[in-house]
Structure 1
Amino acid sequence: MMSLYVYLLVIVSLCAAETSDKSVFQGVPSDNSFPKWSRRILNSPPFKKPERKFWPPTQKESRFLSLFTVITFPNGDCAGASGDNGTCLTARECSGKGGSVNGYCANGFGLCFMKSCGATTSENGTYFVNSGYPAVFDGTGSCELTVVKSDPDVCQIRLDFVRFAIAGPDQTNHVCNQDQFIVSGGNPVPGICGVNQGGHMYIDAGVGTTNPVKLTFVTSGTSFERLWKVKVTQIPCSTIYKAEEGCLQYYTGVSGQLRSFNYDPASGLQLSNQDYGICIRMERNFCGIQYSVCPDTVNNRSRAFTLSGNSNNPVNSMIGSGAGPNNCANDWLLVPCAANVGRIQPAQALCTDRICGGTFSADLSMQSTTVLSTVKPFRLWFHTDNVEAPVDIDNRGFCLNYVQQPCTNNVM
């Protein structure tokens, strides 16, 4: 009976005792929690306290966060307030790199940035914008962005013209003598002007890291509301989306659309002094490619392909090189070994390359047609000189839709 009484006393004492910070472990009372007459019982088996070395003291949990919590996040793409993507940086990093705030990222801790006149960037995905963007710029001067490689492995720089509206060429010879966009430091790139929103360029970045590429907008002349935003993407040599060598424009996909710079069926003018390659990646199991003019819903007579002649009047297609009224000696689009689809070729037209005039066709015609080429790789070349008047008037340039042809269509 005495043993049962002592056992019950111990149980009740354990339940009623308050946990002390000086206890050996939480839930077991200290010696002072029991009457003196019972301490001998607790200190003898089986109630002897475990040795302190096996039961480390209980650690109190902090109820407060440190005032110096470090927040980190990756410097990746993020969406700015204007709907654009930029690089996610802290406010200090953004200011140090010459960027401007364009919203928040990383749950409010980062900033998106854009760069304008006089800046230098090595950040992938930078936007080059006019002074005061998104407001228009109406002034005279030179706005330059220097692009430095982010890594020695970078081979190319792609420029996407998200916004591009500067003064167009003169009305007589279509030369960009008022405003101009110039690329220097890479492969030769023709200067362009006018409206080129949605267009792009691939720039050869060369080898090493000491050869920066400079992007320059030169504005002058009469008042004009200019607006530009150019996305700068750096492309490593090892990627599958790197453009082929010598391609200023590079397209991928089974189908798509090609346009000359400053093309617009209503008011665009073909630019002079152009000389560049346009490439389409040959997709797997496709052996040929067809080209056809884009629809023109603005003019009574299509101006989707008007490279030479007086475009205010109907102009037939012209083909081949050399002198003569129906040859392409000054302005042309080179389509390697072109042939009309569904039309019997004249006996003398074995392989047409240059096409010009005001009608898109691989033979002399007043009717546009679909043109096929099986030369690989798929590449066009566009050339214009610096003289238009008095023979060439109001030419728009070209807009072509392309569709690659499967090898099973008896295309070699």
Structure 2
Amino acid sequence: MSKNVCLILVVVLMSQASRACDDNIEEEELARQQSDEYFARAYGFTPETWNALYHKPSLGLQDAVDASPYEGRTLFKRLQSSNNPFKKYFNRDQEDNENNGRFIFAGLGSNLVNTGLFNNRYTPANTWRPLVTLAKRIPISVNPNFNSPLGSFDTCTSNAGEAGICTSGSVCSLFGGRPSGPCDQGQVCCINVINSCGSIVTLNNTYWQTPPTALRSPCTLTVRMDPKFIEQSSKPICQIRLDFVSFTTSQPTAGTCTDTFQVGGVSNEVPTICGDNRGQHMYLNVPQSVNNPTDVQLIFNFASGTTISRSWSIKIAMLPCGATYLAPIDCLQYFTSTRGRVSSFNWQDVAGARQLNNQNYNMCFRTELISSQKATQMCLSVCSATDGDAFSITTPPAVLLVASLNTGFALANTADADEAAINSAVGTTYTDQSRGNGITVATCLYDYLLIPGGRDANNVEADRFCGNKLNPSPGTVKRVPACPNVEWQRVFIPGAATDVQVCTAIRPFKLTYQTDGQETAVGAATNTIRALADVSNTGFCLEYQEN
């Protein structure tokens, strides 16, 4: 009897020691996965990030708490380690697990494949589950990671530079992924690709690519977020970043998209885009819901009768709340390097009109460290272009206003308008005096690029920039000698005919791009200021540098 009692005590003590080791392992793993460096590497950002959006805050906790969304990031609260590595499976409500088909340890064998994780390839209307019976034969040892028998879902980079998730090779194959390179603990870097319309995605780092068959319109993809999903349970998702690896649809007609790409279900305003947008990106703010899933829709609509070959590859990254690399909430685009290129959607170095209508969004730039000090200014210069126009926003109203004795006033010949096509414009309007009555004409009122505190090398300053050159030099109105049968004539002389570097010292560094819904002339009306028709506007492409 005493030998049996001793044997039982030894088994209990060994069990407790093993449990303590497991607890320590889990604590180390959670600490690693909660670290800033881990998330910076996981989502493709430089690991040398410091806890700031635009400025480096002080190390004091109160400074970080009181900081505005632009001045500092919210400190992420560390998750407490669980004494039971399977607690997150046991503690879920049984009814929720049955309704959502999510993972619980008790039913791991039967639920491993027949879940939203592995069935996000199928549309909601498709109830066929081809792998249900196969799932019953899968052993628990499908993944060697004891802390998470389903995979850690860490982000990885494949040998070809693609973003993926870490999981076992068998699990990667089950949900249709493509193994490409190794991860820790015997896992593989699994590349997840969707190439269909109407699918639902719940996995981070998924690529949505052009369907191989004929396109239907609309072609949609739903990104579903739910903290009850095991692949999203460690941290709720606050933002989605879309990276347009490739993006080609038809060009706009007079600035209006006929093919459209739109985003629904987010809390920030996202403009409709089309054309060529390779290399562009967007940050989408996700509405938070504790009890209900959140769906974000990516929607393509295609115009009929267009023969252009449409294609796209969009990387979808889910960014957890509290991560140090989240974009400020009012920024559609966010740049975190000391230098780079920023351009309007659909800008390309090709001839022809490219500007899109109804654009209204912010481009934000994190204040980086320069020689261990925060950057004090950001400077912008137009990109080098061969065939296209690197800055063309609104045709400036460089026209001759003539007051006839019989007909009042009329616009002069087109030669004056052609002269305007090579000049800059700033401000919002100018006023031309005729017969004592002011004629107000819009300049950068409807389409413009806002650079707060923008100055040239001579300290000439302007905020709104448009025209065909980036230059803060203002336009003027001059009186010219009268001609026979003409009472007076005045001509508006636009700004400079050269591009210059424009710098701003106003932090946080931010640009705002605004266009209206038309390229045609705007007639004077109640609360509406007249403006000329726009001619071959392309948008902008700028090189930025912080110093």
TM-score normalised by L of structure 2: 0.54
Q: Give the equivalent residue in structure 2 for 1:164.
A: 247
The alignment status of 1:315 with 2:393, answered yes or no, reads no
Q: 2:392 aligns with which of 306, 318, 337?
A: 306
Distance 1:83 1:290, change over 3 A: closer
Distance in 2 of aligned mates of 1:82 and 1:372: 38
Aligned residues: 321
Q: 1:291 aligns with which of 380, 403, 415?
A: 380
Q: Give the equivalent residue in structure 2 for 1:17.
A: none
Distance in 2 of aligned mates of 1:111 and 1:241: 24
- Give the CA deviation at 1:264: 1.0
Contact persistence 2:172–2:178 (CA under 8 A):
no
Contact persistence 1:81–1:102 (CA under 8 A):
no
Q: State the AA in 2 paired with 1:397.
A: G
The alignment status of 1:208 with 2:286, answered yes or no, reads no
Stretch of structure 1 that moved more, 238-247 or 81-90: 81-90
The alignment status of 1:70 with 2:150, answered yes or no, reads no
Distance 1:140 1:309, change over 3 A: farther
Ranges in structure 2 where 5+ consecutive residues have no aligned partner: 1-137, 145-150, 226-231, 397-416, 431-439, 474-494, 522-532
Secondary structure of 2:240's match?
strand
Distance in 2 of aligned mates of 1:101 and 1:312: 56
Q: State the AA in 2 paired with 1:338.
A: G
- Give the CA deviation at 1:86: 2.9
Q: Give the equivalent residue in structure 1 for 2:507.
A: 376
- CA deviations 1:14-60 (Å, max 9, x no partner) are xxxxxxxxxxxxxxxxxxxxxxxxxxxxxxxxxxxxxxxxxxxxxxx
- Give the CA deviation at 1:225: 0.9
Distance in 1 of aligned mates of 2:330 and 2:385: 30
Higher helix share: 2
- CA deviations 1:224-250 (Å, max 9, x no partner) are 211111111111222221111200010
- Give the CA deviation at 1:393: 1.7
Distance 1:110 1:232, change over 3 A: closer
Contact persistence 2:255–2:355 (CA under 8 A):
yes
- CA deviations 1:327-373 (Å, max 9, x no partner) are 211100000021112x253xxxxx52110011001222111100011
Q: 1:387 aligns with which of 509, 518, 524?
A: 518
Q: State the AA in 1 paired with 2:309.
A: E
Distance in 1 of aligned mates of 2:278 and 2:335: 16
Contact persistence 1:243–1:250 (CA under 8 A):
yes
Stretch of structure 1 that moved more, 153-162 or 114-123: 114-123
Q: Give the equivalent residue in structure 1 for 2:274.
A: 193
Q: 2:446 aligns with which of 330, 355, 358?
A: 330
Secondary structure of 1:212's match?
strand
Distance in 2 of aligned mates of 1:94 and 1:117: 21
Q: Give the equivalent residue in structure 1 for 2:464.
A: 354
Q: State the AA in 2 paired with 1:182.
A: Q
Structure 1 residues 123-272: aligned runs within 5 Å: 123-132=203-212, 139-149=215-225, 150-151=232-233, 153-170=236-253, 173-177=254-258, 179-186=259-266, 187-208=268-289, 210-221=293-304, 222-267=306-351, 269-272=354-357
- CA deviations 1:298-333 (Å, max 9, x no partner) are 25xxx1000111898733111112465572111000
Distance 1:138 1:121, change over 3 A: closer
The alignment status of 1:113 with 2:192, answered yes or no, reads yes
Secondary structure of 1:282's match?
coil
Contact persistence 1:319–1:326 (CA under 8 A):
no
- Give the CA deviation at 1:101: 4.1
Q: State the AA in 1 paired with 2:222.
A: T
Greater than 4 Å deviation, 4+ residue runs? 77-83, 88-96, 103-111, 310-313, 323-326
Greater gyration radius:
1
Contact persistence 2:191–2:206 (CA under 8 A):
no
Secondary structure of 1:70's match?
helix
Q: Give the equivalent residue in structure 2 for 1:87.
A: 165
- Give the CA deviation at 1:105: 5.1
Contact persistence 1:318–1:326 (CA under 8 A):
no
Q: Give the equivalent residue in structure 1 for 2:60.
A: none
Secondary structure of 2:326's match?
coil
Ranges in structure 1 where 5+ consecutive residues have no aligned partner: 1-66, 346-350, 406-412
Contact persistence 1:309–1:315 (CA under 8 A):
no
Q: State the AA in 2 paired with 1:265.
A: D
Distance 1:240 1:344, change over 3 A: closer
Contact persistence 1:319–1:328 (CA under 8 A):
yes
Stretch of structure 1 that moved more, 323-332 or 286-295: 323-332
Distance 1:312 1:69, change over 3 A: farther
TM-score normalised by L of structure 1: 0.71
Distance in 2 of aligned mates of 1:361 and 1:184: 37
Distance in 1 of aligned mates of 2:214 and 2:252: 17
